[in-house]
Structure 1
Amino acid sequence: MRFFVLILLPPIVALALGLGSAWYMISAPHYGTVAFGAWRLNLPVDAETVDPYTRARIARTGEIVSGAGEGLVFRATQDDAGHGLDARCDYAVAGSMPSARLWTLSVLDPQGRLPANPIGRTHVHGREVTRAPDGTFEVMVSAEARPGLWLPGPASGAPTLVLRLYDTPVAAGTDTPADLPHVIRRGCR
């Protein structure tokens, strides 16, 4: 019996560690990420230099990635205070936006899908926001309807906010995304 343990245990441990580390690497981006307040930017993917883990993650999730000059995708899984996002809470995405031809804000459920909602709204874009005289705006993200511009969130779990900037000088490296909006928790149920 001891002989079988000595022969079978190392390959089983090696297999578990290999599969576990591979799953960890493709489950979410773990490097090549830059933080800007609550927002995290995954650096644009270059088809010639992309690593195998990023290729596997893209194949697994089916996401469409932007090239270096096309735009940027920021994700927020926490608010500005550092608390994880919770579907039981209401959030205001408020402030200003870096210059871009177009930007969109969407929310994903914990499985990475767009949540079903009664009004069928999946995103908000920069052309539909009402701006204050100083150029700032506010979008409410909540599972329940809210006054103003409301983006429906999932009913439970930890949502992810996704902000996409299209055709922006930030993507070309000539600007920095210093003007990203704030993610502010407004209350919880």
Structure 2
Amino acid sequence: MTNYVKAFAVMIAGLLLGFAMTAVSLGLGRGFGALHAGPWTAWPRHGAPDIDPYARAVLARSGEAPLGRDQGLAFFARTDSSGAPLDGRCDYRILDSTPAARFWTLGAASATGRLIDNPADRYGFTSSEITRREGGSFEIDIGAQARPGNWLPVAREPFVLVLRLYDTPLDVESAPDPTTFPKIVKLHCA
């Protein structure tokens, strides 16, 4: 009888350990095969049929619908170009330089991936609507306080930037050149 109790206890311990490890692995990342370019990170396999099971579970849990490989890539930035975490109590400037793409969008989301509620009802910019300087360059200011020009509002809490490149010739099998991606520069903090 004691052998049955010991076997049952080992099975329960194994099950609990398995569930705990699965929860930890789902909370730590978005799967394998990340593509890095400075502070920007993408997971090109998320929209492909060969997506790994951990990434599939993370996407199912978040409800995100990733872009297919032939549609484009979504890059996420949780830090500025110097490596400091993005914080809504600070002001940032995005300096233009985007990889080749037919169309791109740049938006801000909460650290959990939700839209940031703001009185301006502005959640992002597109390559076709952004105000550009002579020569085609642009800057986007990010912060909680309104300002003229290209301003992207955020809440006074940690946030993430999302750059989506549609119909891009970017080679996902090799490391992209970080100099072709927007720089995220911290200006000052409140």
TM class by smaller structure:
0.7 to 0.9
Amino acid at match of 2:122: R
TM-score norm. by structure 2 comes to 0.85
Residue 142 (structure 1) shift? 1.1
In 1, distance between residues paired with 2:173 and 2:14?
Answer: 42
What CA deviation, in whole Å up to 9, does each residue of 1:8-63 have, x standing for no partner?
76445433432222123323314211211111111233543222212211111111
How many residues are aligned here? 187
Maintained 8 Å contact 2:42/2:75: yes
**Structure 1 segment 64-143 matched on structure 2, within 5 A:** 64-143=65-144
Unaligned residue ranges in structure 2 (runs of 5+): none
Distance 2:69 2:177 in 1: 15
Match of 1:141, SS state, is strand
Q: How far apart, in 2, do the equivalents of 1:169 and 1:126 lie?
A: 16
Measured at CA, do residues 119 and 143 of structure 1 come closer, stay the same or move farther in structure 2, by a change above 3 Å?
same
Q: 1:8 to 1:188 in 2, by over 3 A?
A: farther
Secondary structure of 1:45's aligned partner: helix
Partners of 2:58 and 2:94 in 1: CA distance: 28
- Structure-to-structure mapping, 1:1-189, within 5 angstroms: 10-11=10-11, 13-27=13-27, 28-45=29-46, 47-156=48-157, 158-170=158-170, 176=176, 178=178, 179-189=180-190
The amino acid of 1:106's aligned partner reads: G
Q: Which sections of structure 1, spanning at least 5 residues, go unmatched?
A: none
| Structure that is richer in helix per residue | 2
Distance 1:187 1:87 in 2: 11
The whole-number CA distance in structure 1 between the counterparts of 2:133 and 2:86 is 26
SS at match of 2:45: coil
TM-score, normalised on structure 1?
0.85
From the superposition, tell whether residues 82 and 47 of structure 1 become closer, same or farther in structure 2 (CA, over 3 Å). Answer: closer
Q: 1:170/1:54 Cα in 2 relative to 1: closer, same or farther (>3 Å)?
A: same
Moved more, 170-179 or 66-75: 170-179
Runs of 4+ aligned structure 1 residues displaced above 2 Å come to 5-17, 24-28, 44-48, 130-136, 171-178
Structure 1 pair 7–66 and aligned structure 2 pair: CA distance change class (3 A): same
User: What is the root-mean-square deviation in Å for CA atoms of aligned residues?
Assistant: 2.7
Q: 1:175 to 1:135 in 2, by over 3 A?
A: farther
Change (3 A) 1:173 1:135: farther
Are the equivalent residues in 2 in contact too, given 1:44–1:65 (CA < 8 A)?
Answer: no
8 Å contact kept, 2:87–2:156: no
Task: Name the aligned partner's letter for residue 38 of structure 2.
Answer: G
